[in-house]
Amino acid sequence: MRILIPMMLLASAICLAGNNVLIFNYDQVDLIYDAALGDSIDTGYWVEQTLLSLGDTVDSGTTLPADLSSYDAVFMMMGMYTC
């Protein structure tokens, strides 16, 4: 998780603020407890929060649209490795 947020900040900075971004959340069943929130979150939660705080417009969902041309960036959350 500590690596994910700086990567998202860098990706958003590259894309510049104010872009239309899609977060494709493949596995919404895979949840992890976040002590800071006191609740369980999915893999796309902090990605979405980071992009929103940078001024991006964010759409998220479990299906990919047929046409992605309206998005400046697409982030694909494929779940978390758990043992």
* Predicted confidence (pLDDT) per residue in 32-73, tens digit: 888 988 998 888 888 888 889 888 899 988 888 999 999 988
pTM of the model: 0.68
pLDDT in the model for residue 68: 92
Give me the pLDDT at residue 67, please: 93
How far apart CA 46 and CA 51 sit, in angstroms, is 8
pLDDT tens-digit map of 7-29: 666 665 655 556 888 988 877 67
Helices (H), 1-83: 4-15, 45-53
CA distances from 61 to 1, 22, 46, 75, 81 (A): 21, 8, 15, 11, 20
Answer yes or no: are the C-beta atoms of 23 and 60 closer than 8 Å: yes
Residue 82 confidence (pLDDT): 64
Please say if the pLDDT value at position 3 is more than 70. no
The predicted structure's pLDDT at residue 81: 67
Backbone angles phi, psi at 49, to 5 degrees: -60, -40
Count, residues in the chain: 83
Question: According to the model, what pLDDT value does residue 13 have?
Answer: 62
